[in-house]
Structure 1
Amino acid sequence: MEAKDNVKRLTNTLVESAACPSGRPNVIVWDDKVKGLGVRINAAGTVRTYLLQYRVKGTRQERQIKIGRHNDPWRIDQARAKAMALKVEMLDGVDPVVRDQQKVEADRAAAVLTEAQTITLRQVMEHYVQHQRTRHGALRAASIRDIERHVTVNLADWADEPVASIKRDACIERFDAISESSPSQAAQCFANLRALLNHARDMFETDDGEYPLLAVNPVQRMFKKRKPKPEKPRDTRVPLDRVRAVWAMLEKRRAAARTVDDRTSADWVSFMLLTGTRKTESGSLLWSNVDFEAGTFHLPGDVVKNHNGITLPMSTPLRALLKSRRELPEPSEKVAERRRAERSSEYVFPSWGRLGYITDADATMQAVSEVAGTRVTIHDLRRTFVDVCAQVGVSADRERLLTNHISGDVHARHYANSKQALTADVEAIAKWITAEV
């Protein structure tokens, strides 16, 4: 602390006329009326700040506390009054610096508590999809779409209400209501809600590990009362004796397609039947990930369900299908503008939808179901592909590789992964599927 050897009776005139000696960064002129009160003047004489230097009673702590700038709004009489008030506190053993720090912390805690009690489910969701990270990185687009759908559809009336108002009994009631039409959707909805509420709790966790928001996750409590029904294993697929008929029908639809959308839909379903790829993996396939020279296509980790990016060989029919899409003839003038937009797309199977790539093929799948003699979904094509793998003698290890099912078996992962063998396998699969009926 600076020695008080420059003591004068401070007046407004003196404060305004005092100057800092040359060569010094600042000077303090002390008041002879109120001990410890001073005014600091900077080297340029442009800033004059009142301060109090005093010791807190009962401690060895001497504080230098800023009061404020002269004329902004402080005048000498106001500065003296403030200095006296601070000294009274310090003589009572109160440290104004510590007191102010505690007030700031208390105000901050109160603001956090207010935010915690008012933050809405929609706001939590927006924070979650932006900041949540998995061991593979950011959330996948498909996961974000599922979360947004459940919040804005199944939980629409909760979306703009505080998450603090979500209670266990309300969760049970909503879970039961959704379960009536779709137990699997109810389980998915509340698994996502549980994750969102856990995220909300973590957003406001205190330094000492306390949770001012949702001390206990209400969905977690709900699951003690309502266990999600285990989803029955799905076993639908195209019967093996109808696979070739389905392929023949798809070939006819591709050849006779009247619109770009019809052609894209038939091509996409044909692609999945030949490869066993999942809906989003194939639908979002980029031309930049198709290598005609190498005869491969690549599924990057950010679109694959298990995040395991993989490059797979193309069979001869698959190569022909993709080349035909790459080399589509020029369209008529009526649809020229739309076709040019689609042909310039980065996606192999583009769409005018929000995502830019195809996500459904209802009409084509209806035709597949009619030929198959049973209702067939897009994912059933993947099970059909596995059936064909077994039919042509593809080993279990290589079938897992072709369907990108990660195996924990060392032999399967490091030894049964011959590229030549996989190429032979996809050729055998495609030959069987495309054989004449």
Structure 2
Amino acid sequence: MPLLTVKAIEAHKPQTRPYKLTLDRGLQLRIAPDGVRTLLVRYTVKGTGDERQYRLPEEYGHKPGQMALAAACAEAQRIRALARGGIDWPEEERVRVRTGAAARKLAGTDEHPTVQSALREYVLKKRRAKDGLPLKARTKEDYLKMVEPGRQSRHGKKFADGLLFPLAQKLLSELTGDDIRSHYEQLLKKSTREAGYAMQVLRAVLRWHGVAVPDNPLSIETAGKSRIVLAPSIGKPVPIPAERLGAWWRAASTSDRVAADYYRFQLLTGCRGIEIHGSKRYGYPPIKVGDVNIEAASIVLQDTKNRRDHKLLLSRQALQIAKAYCLERDPDAPLFDIVDPRKTLARINAAAGTHVQGHGLRSTFASIAEELVSGAVLKRVLNHTISNDVTLGHYVGKSEAQLRAGWQVVADYVEAAANAEPQAQL
């Protein structure tokens, strides 16, 4: 009979640190600060002197996919009984799983690919229907990480496995609707957003390979009650609060650091950070001194996120910043020669009483522009795709003068906020 009743167990709540309860002989429950309840079996194999520990695969609980108290006690007794007979069942099970995974990996040929090899082929060969271009480097890396085990840091810290790693060695021909549904439910326990993202990628891979999974919960042909409905992703913009905009701009303007000018330039242009400083990891070039056309007050960003070039029409304020970093410098030098500007942003935030991060400056630009310019101008200056918008894509045209005016009105608004706020505080 268990040492604790279900009612007594439920009375124990998460604390700031994980702690353990003894449920039965050799059976413990670990309660983590996030509420996860893990079942641990302690046993000693006959002929050895060391006590070993095995984590049961299901969490403690009474919902589908969880293990109730009675079942956990029975499983612990079974493992301990085998150990007393000299059988280390958990270790034998681990060997069996590894051997099976290796066999499935060998079987994952072109004719019978695994989820992992199918995703890798998708990343390598996928071309966009509208322009025939391959996936961007960053997208490729994000997808490939989904089927890889979590890396280990040099200090021994284990990072989380990829979102689709538990399915990675599953043959596509053996993948079932229950496999997909069960994995989706496990991901939901951690993050709704990540669960949806993983399912979107898996659905794309299955469609690209033309695989028909029986009772596929990602298929529109599956009954609604059995279908996984993937809601469209919704961003969480965190712009600079309007009442602190002037303080932020003054704090950034009084700093003599290159990084501060980089952040001011990002706010004035609404660019993504990676479009300005580039990324060696993903093969994105930074804006270089030679890219700045001072006479035309413009910069052309090459092959941006939506796979198109984007022409920045600089406001007077943005041009002033850019010109300062072009004087007597090598045309191939990065316009803003920075490595990690985040410490500078932290200092600016501390001085201004704000908490904005890099992408939040793009959100700030958009939030200001939304009230000052038309929707057509806003979409174009932010370099958002308009392919699905018939009106904007086929009927509404905007001249460079109109687009430049959009950037200029935002810059004037920011400058006015910085100049007006001190007077308002008197």
Separation (CA, whole Å) in 2 of partners of 1:114 and 1:182: 30
Are positions 1:273 and 2:273 aligned together? no
Q: 1:124 to 1:344 in 2, by over 3 A?
A: farther
Q: Which residue of 1 is the match for residue 409 of structure 2?
A: 428
For 1:406 and 1:156, the matched residues in 2 are separated by 32
Spell out the pairing of 1:30-45 with structure 2 (5 A cutoff): none
* 1:123 is aligned to 2:117: yes
Aligned-CA RMSD value: 3.7
Structure 1 distance, partners of 2:217, 2:227, is 11
SS in 2 for 1:388: helix
Letter in 2 for 1:125: L
State the partner residue of 1:171: 180
Residue matched to 2:37? none
Aligned to 2:317: 317
Please list the CA deviations of residues 98-140 of structure 1 after superposition, one character each: whole Å capped at 9, or x if unmatched. Answer: xxxxxxxxxxxxxxx9835642333223321221110221112
Q: How does 1:137-286 map to 2 (within 5 A)?
A: 137-152=133-148, 153-199=162-208, 201-202=209-210, 214=213, 219-220=218-219, 224-229=226-231, 231-232=233-234, 234-253=236-255, 255=256, 257=257, 263-264=258-259, 266-284=260-278, 285-286=286-287
Contact kept? 1:237, 1:381, Cα under 8 Å:
yes
2:304 is aligned with what amino acid? V
Q: In 1, distance between residues paired with 2:345 and 2:287?
A: 23
| CA displacement 1:18-53 (0-9 Å, x = unmatched) | xxxxxxxxxxxxxxxxxxxxxxxxxxxxxxxxxxxx
Structure 1 position 380 matched with structure 2 position 360: yes
Question: Does the 8 Å CA contact 1:118/1:162 hold for their aligned counterparts?
Answer: yes
Paired residues of 2:177 and 2:215 also in contact (CA < 8 A): no
Cα deviation digits, residues 202-242 of structure 1 (max 9, x gap): 4xxxxxxxx6x857757546994432355455353211221
Alpha carbons 1:194, 1:217 under 8 Å: kept: no
- SS of the aligned residue for 1:124 comes to helix
Output the amino acid matched with 1:143.
Answer: T
Distance 1:141 1:431 in 2: 36
Q: Which amino acid aligns with 1:242?
A: R
| 2:369 equivalent in structure 1 | 389
Q: Which protein has the bigger helix share?
A: 1
Is 1:404 aligned to 2:398, yes or no? no
| Kept in 2: contact 1:295–1:319 (CA 8 A) | yes
- Name the SS for the 1:323 alignment partner: helix
Q: Is the 8 A contact 1:398 1:417 kept in 2?
A: yes
- Would the aligned equivalents of 1:240 and 1:387 in 2 still touch at CA under 8 Å? no
In structure 1, distance between residues paired with 2:333 and 2:112: 43
Maintained 8 Å contact 2:218/2:227: no
Instruction: Give 1:165 deviation, angstroms.
Output: 4.2
> For the Cα contact (< 8 Å) 1:167–1:218, is it kept in 2?
no
What are structure 1's unaligned runs of at least 5 residues? 1-112, 203-210, 258-262, 330-342, 353-357
**Alignment map for 1:345-384 (pairs within 5 Å):** 347-349=334-336, 362-367=342-347, 370=350, 373=353, 375-384=355-364
Which residue in the other structure is 2:400 paired with? 419
118-127 vs 135-144, which deviates more? 118-127
TM-score by length of 2: 0.56
Letter in 2 for 1:238: I
SS in 2 for 1:297: strand
TM-score of the superposed pair, with normalisation by structure 1: 0.54
